[in-house]
A = this chain, B = another copy of it.
Amino acid sequence: MKNNRSVFQITAFHRPDQACDTDITPFFLRASIVRAEKISGFPSHIHREYEIIFAARKEYSCLINNREYNLVPDDLLIVCPEDTHEDICPAGAEFFSIAFKLQCPGLKNSINFLMPDNEKNRVLRSCHIFRNIFSGIISKSQSRSPAAGYLLDSLLRTFFWTLICELPEQALDENFKDIVYRTSFKSKVFSMFRSHLFSSLSLTAMGEIFGLSSRAFSGKCSEILGESPSRAFNRYKLEYACHLLADTEMSINEISSRLAFANQYHFSRTFRKFYNKTPGSIRADKTGD
């Protein structure tokens, strides 16, 4: 009956089973709703963090590095670290403010997502979708459940990555785009490996999945993963083989054929090449416990 079912795989995700040290993570510091009872302003100050301002009711006006910005409801403005910022809004105005830092564990320095000095790109006009996201954030923030903190954190990540997807490409910092591209490529490669763990996969087939020629795909892999696709795929399978050797009763021959190696000899030779050990010695270590 199984064949009567069509499975549309929506997606396979980020490098399975472990975080990647080049993953970009926004760390949220605070979110606020600011209401001006009367005309009100905030004096000039230098930002240490990113701040996103979303005009909810009436106008919001400010100076960033001495340039003037004027928002109407549903407009969004990005203030960056190091910016000098001062603002003013009329009585009855209301805006949302979200402050965060960007981190990438694999990088020593902080990363910027916005192209510096690209004044136009600080503003997104008529972003209705953000109003819904903000309402969600506000409604969840009332919850006293301990899990609510985690939920808010997820909603804010959604907010950040929605913003990145909405910004025009030329507004994004080149280094940021490069990291996003590389982590995204890496995670797609590992997702492909994962879904073909029990089958074989030629270089041509891998290229086709990525819509690239074998040569182009191979070049990108070497550049981003630091090794050829077939070597990376073998490494991925052998990591799983180690788990099967250590944690299950499957014979070496069964493992070799489960992981779609041509034969046990080929499996053992590849294993020795990577680990300088035979599969049998891993199994023996286990049995020795």
Chain A residues engaging chain B, CB cutoff 8 angstroms:
1-14, 16-19, 24-25, 27-43, 88, 91, 101, 103, 105, 137-138, 141, 143, 145-158, 160-162, 164-165, 177, 180-181, 183-185, 187-188, 191, 194-195
CB within 8 Å for A32 and B13 given contacts A19-B25, A41-B1: no
Measured CA separation A131–B24 after assembly (Å) = 28
Measured CA separation A183–B148 after assembly (Å) = 11
CB within 8 Å for A188 and B10 given contacts A2-B40, A158-B154: no
Does the CB pair A181–B32 fall under 8 Å? no
Q: Show 11 residue pairs from A and B whose CB-CB distance is below 8 angstroms, ordered by the A residue.
A: A5-B34, A10-B32, A10-B141, A13-B152, A17-B27, A17-B103, A29-B194, A147-B164, A147-B180, A148-B165, A158-B158
* Nearest CB of chain B from residue A205's CB, rounded to whole Å: 19
Does the CB pair B13–A150 fall under 8 Å? no
Does the CB pair B2–A43 fall under 8 Å? yes
Does the CB pair B147–A5 fall under 8 Å? no
Does the CB pair B138–A150 fall under 8 Å? no
Q: Which residues of B contact A88 (CB under 8 A)?
A: 1
Does the CB pair B37–A6 fall under 8 Å? yes
CB within 8 Å for A2 and B194 given contacts A153-B13, A161-B147: no
Instruction: Give the contacting residue for A180; candidates B5, B150, B154, B188; CB below 8 A.
Output: B150
Does the CB pair A13–B35 fall under 8 Å? no
Does the CB pair B152–A165 fall under 8 Å? no
Measured CA separation A246–B114 after assembly (Å) = 27
